[in-house]
Copies of this chain bind each other. A is one copy, B any other.
Amino acid sequence: VEWEPAASPDARRAYLLTMYAFVLDRPVSVQADAPPVPIATPGRSASLPAPAAAALRRLLSANVRSVRPRTVFVEAGSPMTEINVMIEGWAIRVATLADGTRQIVAFHLPGDICEFNALLAGVADTSVEAVGPARVAAISRRAMAGLTEDFPRASQAMWRESWVAAATQRAWLVNACRRSAIERAAHLLCELHARAELAELVDGDSFECPLTQGHLASAANLTTEHMNRCLRQLREERLVEIGEGQLAVRDRNALAARASFDGAYLTQV
């Protein structure tokens, strides 16, 4: 068994596909050079190799449910009987402390597997909440259980996802601990931009982002007010534009330099 590198969006698409194929209980040949076929996913369109299109369409129609804005669809403490794959819309993963304060520990974008490892735990340790309207595919624990036996490649794909999640978490920890407020803000925006790109949500240099400044503040460990000040400064430095549910990164390299952002952790595996 050898692990292929998956540094490019193409490779990422390929491994997500492998995962989808597993879910559908039938193999899907993934050819990077196959002619891409546009899939009409409401809200965005994704280019996928031909065999994948049908598989993805089947998955979507079979398991998807719609989630209203601000709805908690994974409750901390509740048993994990299924795993969720974001199809459309954004979600936040929230840790709630004893005193009721909340901390966003992760964002989930379309294509993301929500905390794949949690299936093992049996109980969710954090909540997941849709930000805007969202569509989520719920995959049963039972379907996952055959994973290691039946579908080694899917298993690899899952591990990749879980490594990226862990590396991202580490990056957030370092971010929150070692950087100044404005660097934290810039770093978060860099990550969101890079991830939106991987999810093929970016149009030009901007993308739709339903997050409020409060969300960004919580994720970067700032107060809403201070995040507002930081965003203003980044705007004045002509690095980003933000508003109207749109987020635009005007000077990608300068923003990355401002935050000493290195997105390798998002694509390395």
Contact = CB atoms under 8 A, between A and B. Distances in A.
A142 to B, nearest CB: 10
Interface stretch (A16-24, A66-74, A121-129, A235-243): A121-129
B120 A167 contact: no
Interface string A224-236: 0000000000000
Interface string A67-105: 000000000000000000000000000010111010101
Contacts of A115: 166
A118 B221 contact: no
Nearest to A146: B1
Contact of A97 (B146, B148, B169, B178): B178
A167 B123 CA distance: 12
Interface stretch (A44-52, A131-139, A157-165): A157-165
Nearest to A221: B177
Nearest to A159: B120
Interface in A230-269: 260, 262, 264-265, 268-269
Contact of A3 (B2, B5, B95, B122): B122
Given A103-B174, A264-B125, A152 B148 contact: yes
A58 interface: no
A166 B167 contact: no
11 contacts: A1-B146, A2-B145, A97-B174, A98-B262, A99-B260, A103-B177, A105-B173, A120-B163, A125-B268, A169-B169, A169-B170
